[in-house]
Amino acid sequence: MNAPINFALLQAAAAPVAVTPTTAISQPLIPADARPLHSGYEHDGLLVDLYGVLDAHGYEVKHVGLHLSVDMTDIGAWLKREVLLQMSDWCDDHLPSAHDLRLVSIDEARIERHEWERNFEPP
């Protein structure tokens, strides 16, 4: 007597289910052209990567992603502005300034030019 009921349940389970369209919630993503500032910054026990800009005034962290994450979700969208400012201040204190980077670039260009002149001097 239970066999017909079980068969009916199997048929109902095997029937195609109508799929209703759902709205996907999009996560805020770090832009592809965002400049990486530091990888492996620790914030509340979580390793994150900092992205932003560097100019004459210093560093400004605009995006924060999970360290070594592939999906590039911007968790900085959920952080308070004060936290991003603290991260920017940390970058100013621990990373080279724009002036320092410019001096290194000038030195490297001078060394490269000297090497080229030494190796390719006309006869």
> Tens digits of per-residue pLDDT, 52-69?
999 989 999 999 999 988
Q: Is residue 80 part of a domain?
A: yes
Mean pLDDT, rounded, for 97-122: 89
Establish if 5 belongs to a structural domain: no
Say how far apart CA 108 and CA 12 lie, in whole Å. 73
Residue 44 lies in a domain: yes
Angle at 39 between CA 38 and CA 43, to 5 degrees: 90
pLDDT at position 47 over 90: yes
Q: Are 19 and 62 in contact (CB under 8 A)?
A: no
Total domains, the chain: 1
Tokens matching residue 73? 């979700």
Whether 102 maps to a domain, the answer reads no
Rounded to two decimals, the pTM is 0.68
User: Residue 15 carries which DSSP code?
Assistant: S
| pLDDT, averaged across the chain | 87
pLDDT for 22 beyond 60: yes
When pLDDT is averaged across residues 20-45 and rounded to a whole number, the result is: 88
Any domain includes 103: no
| Residue-number span of the structural domain to which 68 is assigned | 27-95
